[in-house]
Amino acid sequence: MTGSHTTHVHATKQQWAVGLMAFAAVMLMITGVLAILRGISAIAQDEVWVTTENYLFQFDLTGWGWLHLSLGVVAVIVSLGLFQSAMWARVLGVTIAGLVIIANFLSLPSYPVWSVVMIALSGFVIWALCVARTEESSESYEPAPRSG
């Protein structure tokens, strides 16, 4: 009975891990596509964005556009790796989501609501990638069976 219960718990944990990885991949893909669109809009027409006078982190909006476009392209590529459960994609996914959070924090005055949404999406991606454990990594954390 104990072996069957352990197998069921392991299968349930594996389902959660697969689900969280899929969630992170989809959310990173969405974040990347939205960042690409935001970057294109900033590059194509600087008038789309609102500018704030005397902002400490004031940069050229075309430069911000290229930054968001680049982060978006990398995020989409990394999300494709996440669909394959690649470890490199998990590491880069957390890194890219962190950079997206920083970039959106710095551009809060230009587009505040959009920046907050992107920060939240990226936070969910980081959370999902950090809590999901693949089968290989979850085996190393399981306690040894007791004899008794």
Domain map (residue ranges) of the chain:
23-49+57-131
pTM score above 0.85: no
pLDDT (tens digit, 9 = 90+) per residue, 74-104?
Answer: 999 999 999 998 899 999 999 999 999 998 8
pLDDT (tens digit, 9 = 90+) per residue, 11-65?
Answer: 666 677 778 888 889 999 998 999 899 889 888 876 555 555 655 555 667 788 8
DSSP 52-85: -TT-TT---HHHHHHHHHHHHHHHHHHHHHHHTT
